[in-house]
Chain A
Amino acid sequence: MNAAALDPIAEAAIDWLVRLNSGCVGADEQLAFARWLQADPRHEAVWREMAGVLEQPVAAIRQAEARQPGQQRAAHLVLGAPARRKALRSSAAGLLLLGLGGYVLHRQQPLEALLADMHTATGERRRAVLADGSVLLLDARSAVNIDFGAQVRLLNLRQGQILVEAAAAPGRPLIVRTEHGEARALGTRFVVRRGEAGSELAVLDHSVQLTAANGSRHNFAAGRAARYDAQGIVPLADSAAALAAWSQGLLDVRDRPMGEVIAALRSYQRGYLRISPQAAALRVFGVFPLDDPDATLASLAETQPIVIRRFAGLLTRIEHRNEIS
């Protein structure tokens, strides 16, 4: 793609387009353009075609903007993404940047997931039997790399959560690793969830030896759960069975903020799920079906003071009733 591929009429038309878009066109220039346009029927033909290619998408965005302000700004942000940081200065722009920062993180996930040995899409759980007979269950939007050697069986959890049923292999431990630490199976069934700030372990059978990234180490027996990161290990009061309920297609929450419930549903809901801070702070009890996020949202709406609104089928907003005037 280079200028050499441009024929002279098209190049002249582009030069006119550059000048006419300047925002400061004089009357004499407009007259000169009208003369060029009429000088040759091919000029007008190329000009029309060019206007179609170049103006149609811009016009569509402007029309939508006229009906509902904000779309043009959103379009600009999306299309100018890599360069926008320097251009934006207002506090409103700062907020937008925060939002898009989250987006940048999110858009890396498909790539992460694609590169991993095993991964699942939105709303999908997958079960696999590994070479050694161990069974692996991946939650939705999860990715894991499998690295089985002669000395150690390593599962690198890149995203989401997995349930492991480790087959016995004396002298060849099975380890689930995240950047927050390592969970070493001692002949057992357990769940590891990788979050952004830390990972969680829930032991279902026998026991697991947990080593956090800072080197602190602790054994956890069946039924126990813990959270770990670079600062160390914190035992959790939650039951291990509740943390592993996703493996049965259920979400089991006891006195958890609704924000966490919505975060778990995101892996099962196509489109974008947003919750206001006020609604996110509400406390939730219950067992919900993961495979039917709409039903879960509907049952939350029956028991909680929230309003759920859907836009264009792809964006769902959850707000506290007090926020709706």
Chain B
Amino acid sequence: MSAAHLVAHLYVDHYAWLHGWLRRKIGCTHLAADLTQDTFVRVLGGREVAQLNEPRAYLMTLAQRVLFSFWRRRDLEQAWLEALAQQTESQAPSAEDYALVREAIETLDRLLAGLPLRARRVFLMNRLDELSYPEIARQIGVSLATVERDMKRALTQCWLVGLDRGATAWPT
């Protein structure tokens, strides 16, 4: 049986309970349907389906990741809208910029996840605010060497997470 067939069987056998499980978690049947689809999309991008001994446990793990991503994305979006609403009095971004920036924030959040706070700040001050290392060192009160070390750490993590993108892709 081909991988596509196996996924099709998995889909038919497990769609209903997975959808029910996600619906109980988020309380909205339409959203749960979207997230169930996302979960099966992850199955397609995941390891060999033929080797699955515990399909329910496997699907549940993937669905939990999908759910976590969903909450995280929603939190980021709300935080961003809130920050925007607080500072721009009359203007709001165009729909295109909105989509562009939302995606960029999600990507950066994923790349920087788990990085120590100071390294995260150094990265954002340098890449977003375009501050020089001496200026960053002055503002946060550390040595130049520390700023350089934090930058290297941040860039290394971003690069490694970015390389790993295929395996941990966010549902789109």
A residues with CB within 8 A of B = 1, 3, 5-6, 10-11, 14-15, 17-18, 21-24, 50, 53-54, 56-58, 60-64, 67-84, 86-87, 92, 95-96, 98-100, 102-103, 106-107, 110, 114, 119-124, 126, 271-272, 274, 311-315, 317
- Least distance between A90 CB and chain B CB atoms (Å): 12
Docked CA distance A71–B121 (Å): 17
Q: Say whether, besides A53-B159, A77-B83, A18 and B148 are in contact (CB < 8 Å).
A: yes
A311 in contact with B92 given A72-B128, A74-B80, A114-B25 (CB within 8 Å): yes
Q: Which residues of B contact A (CB under 8 A)?
A: 25-28, 31, 71, 74-88, 91-95, 97-98, 100-101, 103-105, 107-109, 111-112, 114, 117-118, 120-121, 124, 126-135, 139-140, 148, 151-152, 155-163, 165
With A61-B101, A120-B27 as contacts: A83 and B94 at CB distance below 8 Å: no
**Measured CA separation A1–B76 after assembly (Å):** 24
Contact residues of A: prevailing secondary structure = helix
* B87-A73 in contact (CB<8A): yes
* Contacts A15-B152, A96-B86; A24 near B124 (Cβ below 8 A): no
Q: Within 8 Å CB of B118, what residues of A?
A: 83
Partner of B134 from the list A24, A60, A96, A114 (CB cut-off 8 Å) is: A24
Q: Measured between alpha carbons, how far is A61 from B76 in the docked complex, in Å?
A: 15
A95, B95: Cβ atoms closer than 8 Å:
no
Quick check: A78 and B162 within 8 Å, CB to CB?
no
Q: Which of A99, A103, A312, A317 has the most CB of B within 10 A?
A: A312
A56–B85 Cα gap in the complex (Å)?
A: 25
Partner of A74, one of B25, B83, B94, B103: B83
Q: Is the CB of A61 within 8 A of B88?
A: no
B101/A272 in contact, CB under 8 A: no
Q: CB < 8 Å: which of B27, B94, B128, B130 contacts A119?
A: B27
Contact A57 B131 (CB under 8 A): no
Please state if B134 and A14 are interface contacts (CB–CB under 8 Å): no
B81 x A314 contact (CB < 8 A)? yes
Check A78 against B128 for contact (C-beta < 8 Å): no
When distances are taken between beta carbons in the complex, the residues of chain A under 8 Å from B151 are 18, 21
Contact of B92 (CB < 8 Å), options: A83, A107, A312: A312
Q: With A70-B87, A80-B124 known to touch, is A53 a contact of B162 (CB < 8 Å)? A: yes
Q: Verify A79–B109 contact, CB threshold 8 A.
A: yes
Complex CA gap A11/B114 in Å reads 20
Among B95, B100, B118, B129, find the residue whose CB has the most chain A CB atoms closer than 10 A: B100
What's the Cα separation between A18 and B111 when bound, in Å? 17
CA distance A22 to B135 in the complex (A): 10
The 9 residue pairs across chains A and B that have the minimum distance between CB atoms: A23-B132, A311-B92, A53-B162, A121-B27, A74-B83, A57-B104, A99-B86, A60-B104, A83-B117
Q: Find the B residue at minimum CB distance from A106.
A: B78
How far does the alpha carbon of A54 sit from the alpha carbon of B151 in the complex, in Å? 12
A315 lies within 8 A of B27 (CB): no
Find chain B residues with CB under 8 A from A58 CB: 104, 108, 127-128
- List the A side residues contacting B148 at CB < 8 Å: 18, 22
Chain B neighbourhood of A6, CB < 8 A = 156, 159-160
The closest CB in chain A to the CB of B115 belongs to A1
Set of chain A residues within 8 Å of B131, measured between Cβ atoms: 23
Instruction: Say whether A71 contacts B97, CB under 8 Å.
Output: yes
Q: Which of A11, A72, A83, A103 contacts B82 (CB 8 A)?
A: A103
Contacts known (A68-B91, A121-B27, A121-B31); A78 close to B158, Cβ less than 8 A: no
Given known contacts A15-B152, A61-B101, A103-B82, is B159 in contact with A80 (CB within 8 Å)? no
